[in-house]
Chain A
């Protein structure tokens, strides 16, 4: 890069990097103290931000990902959204490692929507696919190394000595020959006029001093004191609160609104129709809620008014034989002839063949923080404060609705009260921008929990038919997995080529890549889109397919009288990373050894997002007859996610993945009746609670493989590990989620 371009670019970074006049959201070392009057806290924050602007103007911006101030503070511009996965700590760790930073001087800010912050893996500024570390692993370390190199050059020039005679350590540059040193803050003035080095040398893994350490999260203090700002917590001068009432039937439209009584509610300001539903705008949440409850809306329910779970089930059954071939190795057709087309039959077997039907339900995300978004559309700019997984799509939504150029649409990412895939969507963003665009006032749209559960993009329900055959030694020789289910990609990119070919990788992941060495292997997929909106749900297709394949694998093992662990080990000889986590989990759990009375083990392994996880679940059946329930006592986990950035975060994500997956295993089910979602809140869509929490033991494999994903990998193998343990306990197979003990056959 030539010098002038360098200078222009960095000037540009300064102007785009601060959040264009909004609230700075992130963690500041010198954060303002809380005031007794919270209203003035906001004003104080604004003032603090103006002061910050001055320090920003003087700061050193080696690249988009960080700036260093004269007071030695290093502010990392975090490109991914913090939704609990710890990325606000782990991404700065990558920079700090190469920068030789003093960790106690690290600040963070959530980055604005800008091409500089695209995830290199996806090419988009979206947090998803367990890709933050995988995508930024190289870029963030290079960002730190570039800065360190420039600071070294600046020090060498200051002292008039050779650069090799200097070294960097915990925020300072030292002379090798003496104790003389300069802090990074003292070097920024000189450093910012230096050319940016192209390919600075990166450390070798054995030189890491921050990567691999259980560094405490940077966001803990604000999260235990109530100071963390989530989307729900945004307060702006003159801000209104709104709700949007959507048609309870998917894709239904408004026929008639009677808002007369609702408008009489004190605090209700306006009620009008927008593209997504009926907006009830009020001074605050409770007035909006009261107004909403009095609103009379007549709906045109449309094509889906008669849709229900049974009719969807029938569509799956009718389509299962017409799937597109995803993979077809060897000759399954010749070997497998067991027929299980009768819908009432869920299992059949001969001496050498077995076939079964597996079903998984639609699931909602139920992020702890219901969907929300705040927007302020003005004549010449649009500000959006939002807990989002997608800054880039949010900015696009702003551009589309307001007609402003994208440079005038500012996305301010708050903390996310859970994401799980739901917050990559734009429906709640649209609500806020549409309303503010009309009123030209700041508007916060809050969804109720009922809105959140009934207007989600659901994890697709699936219907699976599996058939397998073993040889005379009990070894599986053929495996055929037919999947019928709704397609996420069909909703998102309906005109993509892959959709015309009837394929969707997000529906077949975890099935088409079955790790076991089985010579004849086929997976087919029948795309059925009955009208229920579907979306990305933590671990996506792996969440269903791991359950289906790992449970059926146990059935195949049983057909040949094989121990499910030993057969897995035998068929994973070419998959060392699968085998290793399996071996470790089995050993640590005491697989095959005696357990407490009436306790039983189940095992499962899964690869997803470039990482490998094996679980052994220990369960018992408790309670009197007819009131029996599953008690999950302990999960023993072995995890290989390559190089570990922050082991404590990885452990937290596995614990979280297990709980998320257990909720789906034991409780989660969205059902449809008359085109509506039947569930509405945590009473009929329950989440795992602390009294159902198993003890979790986690072993992290150490190796030098490139980092794999972490956020989603804990989910896939939990359902099959528990379901296989339930078989051990009851002698009955689990072929449908959630597990209902009284419905097992």
Chain B
């Protein structure tokens, strides 16, 4: 049994500690908001926060997150929408929506580090997240919107 802290809840999981966090979240705990897109940290669909920093859960073994705090899209904000999620709705970002959990987790991490990011900052922080529907223009707008509606927050 391994103890794992996800979204401020402690889970006891019975699985080998070399299992990627993504599959512990999805198949063992049952949190399916974090997506599988490539399995090799190339698409960003599996992005979660580990101790507040963005990480690709598909290549992060369970052993690496023992004793750390994991935050997934489900735990980003309880009961209300996080300002970044609200900005995503305001700008009507999602199309198919499959990549958006990862996009939002990357964007939240960016805004935490740089509350007022430049276009270059956005490119740098977001280029690891692929969107095949092509929502990039709206993602850029939503990040800028969130940066003005919640300066320095989150």
Contact = CB atoms under 8 A, between A and B. Distances in A.
A368 B96 contact: yes
Contacts of A235: 30, 32
Interface in A685-734: 687-691, 693, 695-696
Interface string A192-235: 00000000000000000000000011011111111111101101
Contacts of B9: 36
B54 interface: no
Nearest to B45: A368
B13 to A, nearest CB: 11
Contact of B32 (A233, A367, A660, A688): A233
B89 A224 contact: yes
B63 interface: no
A174 interface: no
B43 A659 contact: no
Contacts of A285: 23, 26-27, 36
Interface string B89-108: 10011111111110010000
A682 B124 CA distance: 18
A658 B133 CA distance: 10
A220 B92 contact: yes
A369 B34 contact: no
Contact of B122 (A223, A681, A690): A690
B135 A417 contact: no
A552 interface: no
B136 A659 contact: yes
Contact of A225 (B16, B33, B35): B33
A415 interface: yes
B84 to A, nearest CB: 8
A22 interface: no
A369 to B, nearest CB: 5
Given A224-B85, A368-B99, A655 B33 contact: no
A359 B140 CA distance: 34
A220 B100 CA distance: 10
Given A224-B94, A225-B85, A682 B100 contact: no
A449 B23 contact: no
B133 A84 contact: yes
B127 A690 contact: yes
A648 B130 CA distance: 22
B140 A415 contact: no
A162 B131 CA distance: 55
Given A232-B35, A368-B130, A225 B81 contact: yes
A287 to B, nearest CB: 9
Nearest to A233: B32
Nearest to B104: A224
Contact of A687 (B40, B101, B132, B140): B132
Contact of B36 (A221, A370, A689): A370
Nearest to A444: B27
Nearest to B100: A223
Contacts of B45: 368
A34 interface: yes
Question: Which interface residue of B20, B29, B97 has the most chain A CB atoms within 10 A?
Answer: B97
A660 B134 contact: yes
B128 to A, nearest CB: 8
A655 B94 CA distance: 12
Nearest to B8: A36
A660 B134 CA distance: 7
A418 B98 contact: yes
B89 A85 contact: no
Given A284-B27, A285-B23, A652-B95, A693 B74 contact: no
Contacts of B66: none
A690 B92 contact: no
A67 B93 CA distance: 30
Contacts of B104: 224
B81 A368 contact: no
A309 interface: no
A596 to B, nearest CB: 16
Contact of A216 (B15, B27, B85, B89): B89
B111 interface: no
B147 interface: no
A283 B93 CA distance: 35
Nearest to B40: A681
B132 A367 contact: yes
A233 B72 CA distance: 15
Contact of A417 (B98, B139, B140): B98
B19 interface: yes
Contact of A226 (B36, B73, B128, B138): B73
Contact of B96 (A83, A221, A226, A229): A83
B97 A417 contact: yes
B132 A232 contact: no
A682 B39 CA distance: 10
A693 B137 contact: yes
B117 interface: no
A223 B97 contact: yes
Contact of B20 (A233, A286, A656): A286
Contacts of B140: 690, 693
A229 B31 CA distance: 11
Nearest to A714: B134
Interface string B37-56: 11110110100000000000
Contacts of A652: 92, 95, 135, 138
A232 B94 contact: no
B129 interface: yes
A90 interface: no
A537 to B, nearest CB: 12
A370 B133 contact: no
B36 A232 contact: yes
B126 interface: yes
Interface in A316-349: none
Contacts of A221: 81, 89
A158 B49 CA distance: 59
A369 B73 contact: no
A675 interface: no
Interface in A259-288: 266, 283-286
Interface in A354-370: 366-370
A238 interface: no
A682 B94 contact: no
Nearest to B97: A223
Closest 5 pairs (CB-CB, A-B): A226-B33, A659-B134, A417-B98, A223-B97, A84-B96
25 contacts: A37-B30, A82-B96, A84-B133, A220-B88, A223-B100, A224-B81, A225-B85, A226-B32, A235-B32, A285-B26, A418-B132, A418-B133, A449-B38, A449-B39, A652-B92, A652-B95, A655-B134, A656-B95, A659-B131, A660-B133, A682-B43, A687-B132, A690-B139, A690-B140, A695-B137
Given A224-B85, A368-B131, A655-B137, 8 more contacts: A39-B30, A42-B30, A83-B96, A417-B97, A656-B134, A663-B132, A690-B136, A696-B137
